[in-house]
Chains A and B, each alone.
Chain A
Amino acid sequence: MSDTVGLVIAVVVLLNIAGALWLMWWATRGSTATAAQETTHTWDGNLTEYNNPLPRWWLWLFIITIVFALGYLAFFPGLGSWRGIGQWSAVSQWSAEKEAADQAFNQHFAGIENKDLAALAHDPGAMATAKNLFALNCSTCHGSDARGAKGFPNLTDRDWLWGGGPDTIYQTVAHGRNGMMPAWGPVLGPAGVEEVAAYVLSLSGRPADVQLASAGKARFETLCVACHGADGKGNQALGAPNLTDSIWLFGGSTADVKESITNGRSSKMPAQLERLGDTKVRLLAAYVYSLSADQAGTPDQPHE
């Protein structure tokens, strides 16, 4: 707001208040007759109306309202660009409330930064809170049951794109991840894509044309091994998925796989540390770890 606009608003507001005061003075001056009179209005032939005066304390209510208005305008923003004595703003009130809530939350989980995340995953109280945090912050993409959707990984299985150790999960939640599969369509051509797709499907034991697959194997070994490894088991350092376990982030049909190879894929896990704070990120990491920790077998270790 420019100074001139602010000044105009302030003057108009104050003039209005002064006008209200003047109106009250104008209306109450004069006669002191006490008998009730009729207003001289007549309806339906014989209905008349008394002009009964208001009680005097009602006048005081008006004056109190004006005094309140002046006090309010002094304390809170309202007079043009005047910020008020208390410097109050909606944002500052919100931040204060959020800070208090965060503080209470962190107080409740004090000492969490020294706690082993795997142990935290077995704390029922903490996990009940973490479940709510997940529902609030994560379920939009990963689903209420954490089983994901197309492009959003299932968090309840033992297949990990970036590693399933508790600290790795913490890294993923705190700082986010960027997954990128380049588009191979221009390099491979339609026939090449067909062959590589057949080979990739065969890696997971899916029905695929043997001839196409063997042709695709040669292409795979020149183009894809850099990220997905010679055995196709992926590389968690790069977030390159394991192609041999029949778990598909972007769908496992022939058409889906061909689409992935032709146009590439890109996915992003946003960083949460700045948004949620360390305590909540730790709780969430422990919760995500707990979703698959009780299943048989050991979590995937990073592949070489």
Chain B
Amino acid sequence: MSELLAVEDQPLYAAHMKVYPREVDGRFARLRILTVIALLGLFYVTPWVRWDGRQAVLFDLPARKFYIFGLTFFPQDFFMLTWLLIIAALSLFFFTALAGRLWCGYACPQTVWTEIYVWMERWTEGKWARRMKLDKAPWSVEKFSRKAAKQALWVGFSALTGFTFVGFFAPIRELAAGAAAFQLSSWELFWVVFYGFATYGNAGYMREQVCKYMCPYARFQSAMFDRHTLVISYDAGRGEPRGARQRESAMRKQGAAVPAGTAVGGAVAAGAPAAKPLGDCIDCTMCVQACPTGIDIRNGLQYECIACAACIDACDVVMDKMGYARGLVRYSTQAEMDGAKRRLLRPRILLYACGLLLLIVGFAVAVTHRLPVNVDVLRDRNALYRTLDDGEVENVYSVRIINKDQHAHRFVVSALNLPNAVVDCDAPTQNVGAEEVKTAVVRVRVPAAQEHGGRSFNMLVRSVDEPRLTISTRTRFFAGP
């Protein structure tokens, strides 16, 4: 309790302070714009792509069929998704150990959609300082029309997002026709509105709060950092002591000498040549103004930092103007900051890379060499075996043939490793249509007194038209004691 009391005068809840990130331009800002356009383009365009006369990517949940270009996946292929998720997890380990929260800064949907929503805010309400002023100003016609325009853009884009999302699960062309005629089914409408609202709320209002308070990855990624991980760092050795000053060119005109022994580009406080030398940080707070999560990178690595590198771009512009070297804020490692050498290739990174490569190659092979046919063999359970009048022993099986191929196939069923077995099917060849599941009842018969007790054998299902499609399934045959 005493520990609780020590912070008792601290409120548990704080009002949210809206962050107005300052616009920046630079290498990393341009890189993010590129990824935003690429990733969002992928999202909005993919459902419209056609393949073989159908939607190229469609997850048909009611039919349990998942189309990805030329491939059709059935629920039986679910382990592939597990495999994909393991690859995703390992890539997170790899990239995070290598260069910190790259995912958060460039690829996370939260970042990507927030970026777009900030653009729309900027087009309607102006740059960050104007937006701040507008929010503080009393309501006026201008404020109202700017806000209304922003809301219209946001709502429209949210609706498009929800619609596109649903378009991955319901054929998007029919969905578009239905939406145009205001004839969406109630469930389709619900999900469009649900995902639209989630986008609107997360990208429009929640923004960095999702990363700060809700996202678990944000928290556990820091557990994958080590001293050689590239993180966005402020070079305190070079920057401190910080302080305002005149431009170097101006100071040079005044004849101020650069004191020997100070850091690169070191300067002295303007107008006070005798004062202690200043570091490269001119304390312009551009890095703080540019930060979308509202932190000061000069305080060191913080859990709020999503590694978007906006502060690097902001600082580089200032350094250029001051005539100092770039990189006062830069991707660097903790070891480097402590004066050690940068070591990116560490055993850990190599291990992750090897594992990742192995998994990806394995996955590619598994997907491309996948047999588009699955077979389930189910023994009849009530009657263990059946003795026919002439003493032959018979077992009955339901053989489920799942044809995931986009062509029909004809199959024959036979028994392997069961001597003298006669296999009786309700039809000599089973015609299974494209993407059809068919159950054949199969009787397997052996001569009298050949078998006693149980024995394993293989039920062989072979396609007559494509011998590659041969599936052998282990099952049991039972005879009397």
Spell out A's residues near B (CB within 8 Å): 27-28, 30-34, 37, 39-41, 51, 53-59, 135, 139-141, 143-145, 147-150, 152, 246-248, 251-252
Contact = CB atoms under 8 A, between A and B. Distances in A.
A55 B11 contact: no
Given A40-B7, A144-B398, A34 B14 contact: yes
Contacts of B386: 143, 147-150
A33 B396 CA distance: 77
Contacts of A57: 16
B11 A31 contact: yes
Given A34-B11, A148-B383, 19 more contacts: A28-B11, A33-B9, A33-B10, A33-B11, A39-B6, A39-B7, A53-B10, A53-B12, A53-B13, A54-B13, A55-B13, A55-B15, A55-B16, A56-B15, A56-B16, A144-B396, A145-B426, A145-B441, A149-B383
A135 B443 CA distance: 15
The 5 closest A-B pairs by CB, nearest first: A149-B383, A31-B9, A53-B14, A145-B441, A56-B13
B380 interface: yes
Contacts of A141: 382
Contacts of A145: 396, 426, 441, 443
A37 B14 CA distance: 13
B343 to A, nearest CB: 23
21 contacts: A27-B12, A28-B12, A28-B13, A30-B8, A31-B9, A32-B11, A33-B9, A39-B6, A51-B7, A53-B10, A53-B13, A54-B12, A140-B382, A141-B382, A144-B396, A144-B397, A144-B398, A145-B396, A147-B386, A149-B386, A247-B389
B3 interface: yes
Nearest to B9: A31
B187 interface: no
Contacts of A34: 11, 14
B209 interface: yes
B201 to A, nearest CB: 11
B213 interface: yes
B475 interface: no
Contacts of B380: 139, 143-144
B254 interface: no
Nearest to B394: A147
A252 B386 CA distance: 12
Contact of B11 (A30, A40, A135, A251): A30
A148 B443 CA distance: 12
B14 A55 contact: yes
Interface residues of B, number: 27
B246 interface: no
Given A56-B15, A145-B443, A37 B3 contact: no
Contacts of A147: 386, 396, 443
A234 B386 CA distance: 24
B387 interface: yes
Contacts of B383: 143, 148-150, 152
B15 A30 contact: no
Nearest to A246: B389
A168 B16 CA distance: 78
Nearest to A152: B383
Contacts of B389: 246-248, 252
A253 B439 CA distance: 34
A59 B13 contact: yes
B401 to A, nearest CB: 15
- Among B380, B383, B397, the one with the most A-chain Cβ atoms within 10 Å of its Cβ is B383
B382 A149 contact: yes
Contacts of B11: 28, 30-34, 53
Nearest to A37: B10
A251 B396 CA distance: 18
A55 B213 contact: yes
A24 to B, nearest CB: 9
A149 B385 CA distance: 8
Interface in B201-257: 209, 213
Given A40-B7, A246-B389, A143 B13 contact: no
Contact of A143 (B9, B213, B396): B396
Interface in B364-419: 380, 382-383, 386-387, 389, 396-398
A54 B213 contact: yes
Interface in B1-59: 3, 6-16
B160 to A, nearest CB: 26
Nearest to A30: B9
B215 to A, nearest CB: 14
A247 to B, nearest CB: 8
A138 to B, nearest CB: 11
Nearest to A206: B389
Contacts of A56: 13-16
B6 A40 contact: yes
Contacts of A51: 7, 10
Contacts of A39: 3, 6-7
B9 A54 contact: no
Nearest to B4: A39
A33 B12 CA distance: 10
A141 B7 CA distance: 72
Nearest to B443: A145
A251 B387 contact: yes
Nearest to B6: A40
Contacts of B9: 30-31, 33
A135 B440 CA distance: 12
Contacts of B7: 37, 39-40, 51
A58 B14 CA distance: 10
A57 B9 CA distance: 20
A39 B10 CA distance: 10
Contacts of A252: 389
Contacts of B396: 143-145, 147
A30 B11 CA distance: 7
A58 B13 contact: yes
Contacts of A251: 387
B213 A58 contact: yes
B433 to A, nearest CB: 13
Nearest to A53: B14
A104 to B, nearest CB: 15
B381 to A, nearest CB: 8
Contacts of A40: 3, 6-7
A115 B293 CA distance: 73
A37 B6 CA distance: 10
Contact of B441 (A31, A140, A144): A144
Nearest to A248: B389
A33 to B, nearest CB: 6
Nearest to B426: A145
